Structure 1
Amino acid sequence: MSTISVFLILVAVLAVVVLSMTIKIVPQARAGIVERFGKYRTTLPAGLNIVLPFIDKVRYMIDLREQVVSFPPQPVITEDNLTVSIDTVIYFQVTDAVAATYEIANYIQAIEQLTMTTLRNIIGGMTLEHALTSRDQINSGLRGELDGATGKWGIRVNRVELKGIDPPPSIIDAMEKQMRAERDKRAAILNAEGQRQSAILSAEGDKQSRILTAEGQKQAQILNAQADRQAAILRAQGEAQAILNVFQAIHDGNPDQKLLSYQYLQTLPKIANGENASTWIIPAELTKALGTLGGTIGKIPVDGGGSKHRVDIEEPVAEEADEDAGTQAAVEQALEAAKDAEGPGGRLGGSATAPSDAPPADEGEPPTGP
């Protein structure tokens, strides 16, 4: 190979190297930091860029997209002197490539350390229970502190999340016991409330049942009293009607002394059939006694003037409960009629014993008529 050919090959290689050092392609959402002789010169945007070879150099390629960094758990002491482990996740974005390159040596490590110190300050003013229930408050406070501190580094903290807050195992066990006790307490309260409501409802039901039973008994007693009253009224009406009918029949039949003697003889067997009548003795003077009874009854007038009040036998007995006044009037009329019929000669249905001044009738002598 000749010297000319070697020279041409070296020139071609040098041209390729110079061209590659002159043309720089920056990807999308990236920024290239260009230094000239070790000093910042410019920032290359995304796309095709041309720099001076051997003079300008792309020192850093900064990612402008939002980045997510997860930090390992760190021990943090709460206000009530309990150590908890907290791991965080930071969402940040580089807004100024020059500041992120020259203002801070390692912005990710700086964000991690700043996150830990800020988190200790925030958690140190909270109790464990407050820290466990205030994640949103911790996230917003931590984000504000980090965003204010990283602004001069050209970094914007968009979001901070606490992945976990892990108390010590003994505290976790105590919290579980406390929660179990709280649940048992709520269960006991609910059971007591249920029993209380059940007892109240049972008492209300028993009360209503007793009230309804008492009301039913009251109505039944009222109805029974009304029925007894109605029955008593009807019996009184029937007895009054029977008295009037018997009284009218007696006067209409105009009985004599023989009929009364016959009725007396029919009554004697009924007297002998009494419960206490174990022995029946017929007196020898039975004929004389009958004569005396006949003489006594003979003084009853044959016709006492008749019934003062004619009663229709076919008239139905009143059944209405509101006819008390009519029934009472009927009874009073019957009593008045009986008094009027009594007359001066004696009483109907009076004592069978002869008066002391009546002359005794002769034995065997038939009684005289009225």
Structure 2
Amino acid sequence: MTLIGVVVIAVALIAVITLAKAVRIVPQQRQDVVERLGKYKRTLSPGLNLLVPFIDAVRTKVDMREQVVSFPPQPVITSDNLVVSIDTVLYFKVVDSVRATYEISSFLQAIEQLTVTTLRNVIGSLDLERALTSRDEINRHLSGVLDETTGRWGIKVTRVEIKAIEPPASIRDSMEKQMRAERDRRAAILTAEGHKQSVILTAEGDKQSAVLRADGDRQARILQAEGQAKAIRTVFDAIHQANPSQKVLAYQYLQALPQIAQGSANKVWIIPAELTKALEGMGGALGGLSQMVGDLPAPEAADQASQVEREAAEAAQAAADAAQQIHDEVRVAEAQATGSKGPKGLPAPEPVSPTSLVEDPADQRERG
């Protein structure tokens, strides 16, 4: 290779290197700070830019996008002398690449130290309870202080967030116990309110049910009373329209006495004063029946007379037994009331003959 060839190759190589040094392509959202002979010359904007080879040099490449920096947990002492660990996240962006390059040597480190210092000042003026419940206030205060300080460096702090505030282990245990007690209290209150509402609704239901049952019973009793009244009126009207004789009524009275005496709920029997009149009426009724039978033919009259006498004798015997039982119970009651050993208050009643009850009163008067 001749000397001319070597020179040509060297010139071409120098031209390529010079062209590479002269042409600079800057991507979007980035600015390059250019120095000429060690002095700030200009800032390259995104796109194609030309530099003076071997004279201009790029000092820094500044990212103009918003950046996120997460700082490690920092121990901070509150106003009530409790050490808490605080995690913070910082959002910022460079608005002036020249000042960010020449005003501070490392703006990321400076922002971190400034954040820690400001955080300690803010948390140190608060107690633990307020620090835990005032995150928004702390964030606004931190953002304002940092933005004011970093503005001189060409940096804009857009937001500061506290990720976590961790109190000491003993405080966490106490807080957990307090939270559990509060949850238990709220649960007990809700349970009591639910039980109260349930009891109120149950009582309202029972009240309405009782009112409806009482109204139904009242209507049933009214209807039953109306039915009984109507039945009594019907029987009363039928009796008065039929106009029965006293003899028939006396006979039916004697027939009803045994049924009255057999009742298990009848502890006291009241014998009306008209019993003698009823028996006399019975005798008169039997006498009238005898006269009616006498008008019949002999065989039929004999059969009917014997049947009537048997029924009358049975009714009279039942009435006499009932009267004797009543008399005995009265004597026993008097003996118990006076404290005596045996019933001595009343004399023994004279036995009543059933045949005497069925005789005609006129025959009894003639015999007497």
Structure 1 and Structure 2 fold alike (TM over 0.5): yes
Query: What is the Cα-based RMSD across aligned positions, in Å?
Result: 3.6
User: What SS is found at the alignment partner of 1:52?
Assistant: coil
2:87 aligned with 1:87: yes
Structure 1: runs of 5 or more not aligned:
248-257, 294-352, 354-370
Offset at residue 12 of structure 1 (A): 4.2
Offset at residue 14 of structure 1 (A): 4.0
Name the structure 2 match of 1:179. Answer: 179
User: d(CA) in 2 for partners of 1:9 and 1:261?
Assistant: 176
2:242 aligned with 1:198: no
Name the structure 2 match of 1:254. Answer: none
Name the structure 2 match of 1:42. Answer: 42
2:110 aligned with 1:121: no
User: d(CA) in 2 for partners of 1:19 and 1:292?
Assistant: 172
Offset at residue 191 of structure 1 (A): 1.8
Kindly report which structure 2 residues correspond to 1:57-72, keeping only aligned pairs within 5 A, or say none.
57-72=57-72
User: d(CA) in 2 for partners of 1:56 and 1:281?
Assistant: 159
Which structure has the larger Rg? Answer: 1
Offset at residue 202 of structure 1 (A): 2.3
User: d(CA) in 2 for partners of 1:201 and 1:172?
Assistant: 43
1:235-260 residue CA offsets vs partner (Å, 9 max, x unmatched): 211111121x769xxxxxxxxxx968
Q: Are the structure 2 counterparts of residues 291 and 34 from structure 1 closer, same or farther at C-alpha, using a change threshold of 3 Å?
A: closer
User: d(CA) in 2 for partners of 1:16 and 1:291?
Assistant: 172
Name the structure 2 match of 1:212. Answer: 212
Offset at residue 101 of structure 1 (A): 0.9
Q: Are the structure 2 counterparts of residues 287 and 67 from structure 1 closer, same or farther at C-alpha, using a change threshold of 3 Å?
A: closer
Partner letter of residue 212 of structure 1?
A: L
Name the structure 2 match of 1:138. Answer: 138
> Is the CA contact (8 Å cut-off) linking 2:313 and 2:355 kept in structure 1?
no
User: d(CA) in 1 for partners of 2:360 and 2:31?
Assistant: 163
1:238-285 residue CA offsets vs partner (Å, 9 max, x unmatched): 111121x769xxxxxxxxxx96872699687626743328664989xx
> Is the CA contact (8 Å cut-off) linking 2:28 and 2:46 kept in structure 1?
yes
> Is the CA contact (8 Å cut-off) linking 1:87 and 1:162 kept in structure 2?
yes
User: d(CA) in 2 for partners of 1:127 and 1:84?
Assistant: 11
Offset at residue 137 of structure 1 (A): 3.6
Q: Are the structure 2 counterparts of residues 237 and 54 from structure 1 closer, same or farther at C-alpha, using a change threshold of 3 Å?
A: same
Structure 2: runs of 5 or more not aligned:
247-286, 295-304, 322-350
User: What SS is found at the alignment partner of 2:72?
Assistant: coil
Offset at residue 16 of structure 1 (A): 4.0
Q: Are the structure 2 counterparts of residues 279 and 246 from structure 1 closer, same or farther at C-alpha, using a change threshold of 3 Å?
A: closer
1:82-106 residue CA offsets vs partner (Å, 9 max, x unmatched): 3222222222111111111111111
> Is the CA contact (8 Å cut-off) linking 1:261 and 1:290 kept in structure 2?
no
Q: Are the structure 2 counterparts of residues 65 and 291 from structure 1 closer, same or farther at C-alpha, using a change threshold of 3 Å?
A: closer
Offset at residue 224 of structure 1 (A): 2.3
User: d(CA) in 2 for partners of 1:222 and 1:230?
Assistant: 12
TM-score by length of 2: 0.65
Name the structure 2 match of 1:276. Answer: 320
User: d(CA) in 2 for partners of 1:17 and 1:282?
Assistant: 165
TM-score by length of 1: 0.64
2:306 aligned with 1:262: no
1:154-174 residue CA offsets vs partner (Å, 9 max, x unmatched): 111223222322222222222
User: d(CA) in 2 for partners of 1:288 and 1:183?
Assistant: 99
Q: Are the structure 2 counterparts of residues 232 and 8 from structure 1 closer, same or farther at C-alpha, using a change threshold of 3 Å?
A: closer
User: What SS is found at the alignment partner of 2:178?
Assistant: helix
Greater length-normalized contact order (CA 8 Å, ≥ 6 residues apart): 1
Name the structure 1 match of 2:76. Answer: 76
> Is the CA contact (8 Å cut-off) linking 2:87 and 2:163 kept in structure 1?
yes
User: What SS is found at the alignment partner of 2:85?
Assistant: strand
